[in-house]
Structures are given as structure tokens and as C-alpha cells.
Amino acid sequence: MRRTLRQLAIDTAYNLSSFPIALPAFIISVVGFALGIGTAIIWIGVPIMATTLLTMRGMAAAGRAQIPFVIRREVTRPRYKRAKPGSSALRRFLTVLTDGQSWLNLLWAVTILPVAIAGFAVSIAWWAASLATLTWPLYGWIIWQATGAEDNGPAIAARWLGLGDSYFAAAGLTLLAGVIVAAALPWVVRSLALAQAWIGKGMLTSLSTLHERIDELAESRDAATSAEADALRRIERDIHDGPQQRLVSLGMELARVRRQMAANPEAAQQTLDEAIAQTRDTIDELRALSRGIAPPILTDRGLEAALAALAARSMVPVDLDTSVRGRYRSTVENTVYFVVAEALTNISKHSQATQASVSVDDWGDRLVVSVGDNGVGGAHVSKGHGLSGLTDRIKAAEGEWTIDSPEGGPTVIVAEVPCA
């Protein structure tokens, strides 16, 4: 009830204050546009039009400032086009003529006035009707005494409905009508406020929303490029420091076996055993490195099977719980797989945990991944640590993630990846 009354007050204030903004905005836009077009042939209209558009930015800002209170969400601020650095004052002044948002401001001023007039008039009338009918029993007796039952509106209505000619019948009927009108008041005022707010949001913020979306996509692209480059550098470094060095050493050991075969077979056998052990170590390192590359099981059998294989070969026991629904886009599956892979690798190397858990839930428009352990905690995403690559990888998929890892544990990583 309190929330409804608060929103009613906000919507009423919006409907009443929008009209004083819409009226001068309409006058400025229509008069300025007409003068600008009419005198454009002699060039006077160009600065008139530019001045009109610049003035409308202020009017649009006033109208836009009220919208968040009505629609209960923030709106983006417009990004007006600017002249290149070093441009002349005249060039900077006339740049407004090529700015799309400035022309949308002008169109908004023309469109919003009829809706603002309706909101202003209906809000006042409905509030007046509600208050007048609800309080009629308090002052109606004065009118009753002055006009009598014959010419009194509530009395005529009560008589027509068969309730009699008494003052109490007329007062009761008026009070009932007041309750009905007052009950509809929040809905009526809210509808009028939303009509104005959504028109304003569509015309005053649509381009800025598009610009923000473009920026987000650019950041996602840069994050994807950065994540890919980091992954390639890590794989190259790990191959150089690990399997490559082992293979060089293995080649030297095999060459020594060949030399020892005739002169000292026992030494050759021992060297061969050491070479076989190095082969196993090399295979293990290559398997560990392959976790940074999408495995065939992910491509062939999907996310659930790939996560099960990932959990099975983890050095820490993993409790896996998934509720995925079929297949997803490759970027989604790869992101979720690598998030789990890097988190489990970090758990194995640093957490000293004895148990880990992985859950993946499909929330319709996004996959929610949770990885936890009972280790010592203290995990963070600073450069050089196992989780540092997660930020770019998740950002590349336009997702978000958080980590909660106090000293002493436990650690919980939660990532949300859009999958709609």
C-alpha cells in the first residue's frame, strides 16, 4: 500500500510537471524549425536551426531527468556529436545539424505535447473527482440545504436507483462512487505517466543505448582477442618450458641408448627405462596443456559430457551437478568449459582442498556456473595467478562473474554466461 501511494505521488508529479516542460519545448521546436526552414534559402535559417537544436538539448535533458522515477530504471545519457579537435567555433556550432539525437529531441517535443496535455488534464480532473466524491458527505449537507433534494445531483441519482430521497442515501451513493473513482486513480495516473515516459525513453535515449551497446560489443571483442592471445602465449610458453624440453632430453637419452647398446647393455636398459618415464611425464604435461584447448568431447558430445570428463580427471574429487538443456552456441559452451577447467586447475594447484563442487544451471537466458572448494581460500585475479584469465574470457562472452575467497576458505566462483 505504501509503495502504491508513493508511486501514485511520483506519477502525479510527473504528469503535472511534464506539461510545463512540453509546452515551451513544443513552441521552441515548431517556431525554430519553421523559421529555420523558411529562411534557410538566405542562410539565416542555418544558425536559427542550430540554435533551436541546441536549445532543445536543454529541454530534452529536463524531460529525460524525470523518466527514471516513473519506469523505475536508469536511462542512458545521450552522446551528442562533437566536432573534431581543432575545428573552428563556427564548425563546432553547426555540428549540431548533423547530430541524430538532436533531431530526435525536436521530434520528441512535437510528439509529447498531446500526451502531456492529456496527462496534465486527466490527472487533475481525476484527483479532483476522487477528492470531491470522497469528501462529499462532509460538505454535501450545505448543498443539500441550499438546493434541496429536487435539484441535487446525488439525490437525483439515489432516487433513480430506488434508494430514496434522504441525505444519507445520497451521501452513501456519493461515497461509493468516490471509492470506485479513487481505486482507479493509481491505474489511470500510472498509465498516463508511462505513456509519456516510454515515448521520452524511446526518443531521448535510444541512440545513446545503441552507442552503449556498440561499446559493449567492442569491449567484448577486445576481451576475446586478449583472452585468445593470452591463451596462445601461455600454451606456447608451457610447451617451450615443458614438453619441448622433455622431448629434447628424450632424444638425447635415446641417442645415448643407441651408443650403449653394444658396449654396456645394462646401462642401456636403465637409460631406456628413464626415457620411458620421461615419455609418460611428457604425455601427462600435454594432457594438462590440452585443457586450454576445446576438447573433441565438447564439440562432439556437448557441455555436460565435457564437464563430466573434466571432473573425472581432476586431482581433487569433484561433486558435479548440471541441469543443461541440449546444446548451446559454441562460444557459450567453450566459455563455461574453460571457466570450470581453469577453476579446477587453480583448486588443484593452490587451494589444498579435499573436495570441490561444480554446478551449472540453465536459467533460460543465461547459464549460471558455480565452482567451489573447501580449501584455504585467498584466491584472487591478479596478474600471474590462475584465475587472471577468467575476466577476459567471460567478458568476451558478455558475461559476468564474482569470486568469494576469504583467507581460510572456502572459495566460491560464480559466473553468468548469456545463452539466449
Look at residues 105, 90, 110, 115 and name the one whose alpha carbon lies nearest to residue 34: 110
Place of cell 445531483: 153
* pLDDT tens figures, 59-74: 988 988 888 888 888 8
What pLDDT is attached to residue 19?
A: 92
pLDDT for 156 beyond 80: no
Average pLDDT over residues 160-179: 67
User: Cα–Cα distance between 98 and 319 in angstroms, integer?
Assistant: 59
Average pLDDT over residues 197-206: 86
What pLDDT is attached to residue 332?
A: 84
Q: How confident is the model at residue 284 (pLDDT cuts 50, 70, 90)?
A: low
CB contact at 8 A, 397 and 321: no
Q: Which residues of 134-159 are buried (b: 16+ CB within 10 A; e: fewer)?
A: bebbeebeebbeeeebeebebbeebb
φ, ψ (nearest 5 deg) of residue 382: -65, 160
Look at residues 215, 227, 218, 216 and name the one whose alpha carbon lies nearest to residue 335: 227
CB contact at 8 A, 291 and 298: no
Average pLDDT over residues 304-314: 85
CB contact at 8 A, 73 and 209: no
Cell of 20: 510545463
pLDDT for 122 beyond 90: yes
Average pLDDT over residues 219-247: 62
CB contact at 8 A, 298 and 334: yes
What pLDDT is attached to residue 159?
A: 56
Place of cell 548440471: 322
What pLDDT is attached to residue 21?
A: 92
More confident residue, 112 or 315: 112
Report the percentage of the chain scoring pLDDT > 90. 16
What one-character-per-residue DSSP string does 313-378 give?
A: T-SS-EEEEEE--S---HHHHHHHHHHHHHHHHHIIIII--S-EEEEEEE-SSEEEEEEEE-S---
Average pLDDT over residues 257-263: 73
pLDDT for 81 beyond 60: yes
Burial of 213 (0-12, 13-18, 19+ CB in 10 A): exposed
What pLDDT is attached to residue 138?
A: 75
Q: How confident is the model at residue 193 (pLDDT cuts 50, 70, 90)?
A: very high
Place of cell 443539500: 144
Q: How confident is the model at residue 418 (pLDDT cuts 50, 70, 90)?
A: confident
More confident residue, 293 or 130: 130
pLDDT for 78 beyond 60: yes
Among 219-223, 261-265, 364-368, the range of highest mean pLDDT: 364-368
Report the percentage of the chain scoring pLDDT > 70. 76
- What mean pLDDT, rounded, does the chain reach? 79
CB contact at 8 A, 415 and 400: yes
What pLDDT is attached to residue 239?
A: 65
More confident residue, 180 or 1: 180
Q: How confident is the model at residue 402 (pLDDT cuts 50, 70, 90)?
A: confident
* pLDDT tens figures, 49-62: 989 998 989 898 89
What pLDDT is attached to residue 145?
A: 59
User: Cα–Cα distance between 405 and 61 in angstroms, integer?
Assistant: 43
Average pLDDT over residues 170-176: 71
What pLDDT is attached to residue 236?
A: 64
Beta strands 411-418; 400-404: pairing state: antiparallel
Among 23-27, 39-43, 76-80, 145-149, the range of highest mean pLDDT: 23-27
What pLDDT is attached to residue 188?
A: 93
Residues in the chain: 420
Average pLDDT over residues 282-286: 67
Domain 298-418 architecture: 2-Layer Sandwich (3.30)
